[in-house]
Amino acid sequence: MKRVLLFVATNVAVLMVISVVMRVFGFDGYLTQNGLDYKALAVFSLLWGSVGSLISLAISKWMAKKTMGVQIIEQPGNKDEQWLVDTVKRQAKEAGIGMPEVGVFQSSSPNAFATGMKRNDALVAVSTGLLQSMNKDEVEAVLGHEVAHVANGDMITMALIQGVLNAFVIFFSRIIGYAIAAASRDERGGGYSMGSFIGTLIAQIVLGFVAAIIINWFSRWREFHADEGGAKLAGNQKMIDALKALQKSSKTEKLEGEFAAFGISGGQGTLAKLFSTHPPLEDRIAALEKAQYSNNAVIS
């Protein structure tokens, strides 16, 4: 639960910083000096709400390499590294995307993630724990799952949805703040009061949690589609076996920050479902067991 709260709190903190910046530079006063200008507010909200998520996406590969210590396999040093690169290359070709960078990061937890701003310029990384605890068929399925994320455009879609939700949070929190200002305006016609500013921040916190519930719901829905993609690229049974291997692991943990939504596993803790980026592993396994896929099918 701590990681989920940290993820939500980070996004809320970004919105609060935006609020402070807009107040310091007088943007809030501009929007309310002659009554609330809804059109101008909508433009400001969309602009400020999108900037953070798009910048985060643009530097996601760099952040992964720096913060998680992902080591890119530029020249395979052994047959295992060569197999990883060859497998991703084959899957990327079948999925119709450019060859992603392939990397490995140190972690005892069996996990993997994909990130990047473009489908043809992405990064697929796996943990040392995953390579040590799974056989090649299972690792192949995990790689297929991550390549499917890239092929489906999940990274840019998630960033756009987050930007739109941020815009709604900024927009409606300011409407609430303006309503507080209008209700508490004194006889001298005081403008944008400190009370309304505090009300705006509180509204952002509440609406930020609502936005997090929505984005995490979409993330869970998108995981089922990535499982389908992994099954098509590696084989249905291999994908099922990979998820069962994760289910048996006692070390599987959720990835940190923005990479949590793109990992193969969301963890085995008692996280509240509303704030979970991944569906329960048993639900994902059950969904695959109901479907029949061809090992050589290509993602449409």
Looking at the annotation, which residues are catalytic? 146
First to last CA, the chain: 36
C-alpha closest to that of 106 among 122, 129, 74, 136: 129
236-248 vs 194-234: helix crossing angle, rounded to 10: 130
d(CA 85, CA 273): 35
- Contact status, residue 84 vs residue 144, Cβ threshold 8 Å: no
Cα–Cα nearest to 269, from 240, 249, 289: 249
